């Protein structure tokens, strides 16, 4: 997969998926990540050992910032393509949100890494990412 990196003056980094003919041939609407256009990182991911991931199914927009009301620190989120479908019942979008809990630290020891954690450097639009380490 080809990507393009956009560095904004406010510190955000956006990793945009550049679709090729091969990507379009292999595309499947059944893949929950198929409609991701880009990943926006609000923090420098080279300084993060891992991130937690949640699929938010109540997003009002395809590309606006996502926030959690429960106090976790949002470090990134996915933007969707213009043709991303809405849930037929709620009329909302499903998007990934990357976050850290207050107890999470960038310098956490191996045994402190949550089982569901993902290495943020391995996350790309449409790619789930790998476990840290």
Per-residue tokens: 18: 């550049």
Query: Please, are residues 49 and 106 in contact by the beta-carbon 8 Å criterion?
Result: yes
- What are the angstrom distances between the C-alpha of 92 and each of 17, 38, 57, 60? 23, 18, 7, 5
Whole-angstrom distance, CA of residue 124 vs CA of residue 17: 8
pLDDT tens for the chain, residues 1 to 133: 789 999 999 999 999 999 777 776 676 777 878 899 999 999 999 999 899 999 998 899 999 888 887 878 999 999 999 989 998 899 999 999 999 988 786 455 555 788 889 999 999 999 999 988 7
Per-residue tokens: 100: 């850290």
pLDDT for residue 109:
57
């Amino acid at each position: 997969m080809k990507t393009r990196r956009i560095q904004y003056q406010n510190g955000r980094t956006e990793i945009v998926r550049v679709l090729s003919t091969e990507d379009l041939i292999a595309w499947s609407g059944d893949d929950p990540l198929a409609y991701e256009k880009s990943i926006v990182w609000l923090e420098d991911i080279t300084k993060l050992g891992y991130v937690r991931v949640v699929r938010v199914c109540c997003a009002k927009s395809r590309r606006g910032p996502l926030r959690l009301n429960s106090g976790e620190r949002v470090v990134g989120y996915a933007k969707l393509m213009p043709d991303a479908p809405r849930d037929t019942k709620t009329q909302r979008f499903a998007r990934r949100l990357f976050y850290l809990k207050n107890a999470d630290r960038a310098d956490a020891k191996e045994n402190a890494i949550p089982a569901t954690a993902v290495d943020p450097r391995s996350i790309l639009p449409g790619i789930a990412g790998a476990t840290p380490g």
